[in-house]
């Protein structure tokens, strides 16, 4: 019975991982299609897709730490995420 509970936790963990990777790839695809996107635009896009702000921000952190996108400030002082080719 204990093993069954552990198995259930493992399944939940792996579902979380695959879900976060799915959100990461969605966010990356959106940024790639636009070239660059402001934080406000990205949050509005995420909201329209039914994504939580925390999930979008977690995906952004993962993508910036892996070097696939970079954070920049535009001439208006807004935070912009830019796809790194």
Residue 80 and residue 69: Cα distance in Å, rounded? 10
pLDDT in tens, 7-56: 656 655 555 556 667 899 999 999 999 999 999 999 999 999 999 999 99
Residues 6+ apart with CB under 8 A from 60: 27, 42, 69, 81
pLDDT band at 85 (very low <50, low <70, confident <90, very high): confident
**Domains with residue ranges and CATH for the chain:** 2-83 (1.10.10.10)
């Amino acid at each position: 019975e204990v093993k069954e509970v552990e198995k259930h936790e493992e399944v939940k963990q792996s579902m979380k991982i695959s879900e976060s990777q799915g959100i990461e790839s969605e966010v990356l695809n959106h940024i790639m299609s636009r070239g660059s996107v402001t934080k406000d635009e990205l949050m509005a896009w995420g909201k329209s897709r039914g994504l939580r702000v925390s999930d979008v921000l977690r995906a952004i952190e993962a993508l910036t730490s892996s070097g696939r996108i970079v954070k920049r400030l535009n001439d208006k002082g807004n935070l912009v995420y830019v796809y790194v080719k």
